[in-house]
Chain A
Amino acid sequence: EDQVTQSPEALRLQEGESSSLNCSYTVSGLRGLFWYRQDPGKGPEFLFTLYSAGEEKEKERLKATLTKKESFLHITAPKPEDSATYLCALSRTSYDKVIFGPGTSLSVIP
């Protein structure tokens, strides 16, 4: 069965302290791996799509990378406004449903 897991469940960082979030997946053929940000009480906001191992995408202080079994979201010199839950998701085909992981709750302390 297709599955997405994320670690850690929660992460507290000091402002400026870089770190990485992990997304591990098992799927019978990957179409795309997606990262979302979700603020409390709001719907998720799309960040990145990754298609193949070795691919990288960047946006401000965030960089997402992909291997055959994992994806990482690297956060460089985070700021308090980066505090949110980060969700990883995947699809098998362009017509398939999207499966979300449980998320990592990130808190950045000033």
Chain B
Amino acid sequence: DTGVSQNPRHKITKRGQNVTFRCDPISEHNRLYWYRQTLGQGPEFLTYFQNEAQLEKSRLLSDRFSAERPKGSFSTLEIQRTEQGDSAMYLCASSLTSGEPGEQYFGPGTRLTVT
């Protein structure tokens, strides 16, 4: 297994457009997490899945953000009507349910720039 992969690695979009990111976790990992990270800050929790069930979503997350994990495999994160404040690195991580929640394996991230 080559680890967690994310696509695209970079995305430039105009304000008001919709964007979708994909995350492929480590194959045997049933937990999947999405984070947002801006310069000089730690990753900020957005949401997480156990298999296909979305167990928690940050209350800071606006309704423009939605995530899915059909069939408990890959996941997508969609941002509708993007705003300049959405510019950030979007990170995906996965872990085993039997492991510690903090022992996560991160992907390389998708850097979003909203112009």
Tell yes or no: A96 within 8 A of B by CB: yes
Tell yes or no: B101 within 8 A of A by CB: yes
Task: Please name the residue on chain B nearest to A100 by beta carbon.
Answer: B42
Residues 51-74 of A, flagged 1 when their CB comes within 8 A of B and 0 if not, give: 000000000000000000000000
* Bound CA span A4–B102, Å: 14
Query: Could you tell me how many residues of chain B have their Cβ less than 8 Å away from some Cβ of chain A?
Result: 25
Q: Check A32/B101 contact, CB under 8 A, given A43-B4, A102-B42.
A: yes
Q: Check A43/B56 contact, CB under 8 A, given A34-B103, A102-B41.
A: no
Q: Check A97/B93 contact, CB under 8 A, given A43-B4, A43-B107.
A: no
Residues 90-109 of B, flagged 1 when their CB comes within 8 A of A and 0 if not, give: 01010000001111111111
Asked whether A32 lies within 8 Å of B100 as measured between CB atoms, the reply is yes
Asked whether B102 lies within 8 Å of A98 as measured between CB atoms, the reply is yes
Q: Check A46/B103 contact, CB under 8 A, given A95-B55, A97-B48, A97-B56.
A: yes
Binding site for A on B (CB under 8 A): 4, 33, 35, 40-45, 48, 55-56, 58, 91, 93, 100-109
Query: Which 6 A-B residue pairs are closest in the complex by CB-CB distance?
Result: A43-B106, A100-B42, A34-B102, A91-B101, A97-B45, A100-B43
* Bound CA span A31–B108, Å: 27
Least distance between B94 CB and chain A CB atoms (Å): 11
Asked whether A100 lies within 8 Å of B44 as measured between CB atoms, the reply is yes
Query: Could you tell me how many residues of chain A have their Cβ less than 8 Å away from some Cβ of chain B?
Result: 28
Task: Please name the residue on chain A nearest to B46 by beta carbon.
Answer: A97
Least distance between A32 CB and chain B CB atoms (Å): 5
Residues of chain B within 8 A of A9, CB atoms compared: 40
Residues of chain B within 8 A of A101, CB atoms compared: 42
Tell yes or no: A21 within 8 A of B by CB: no
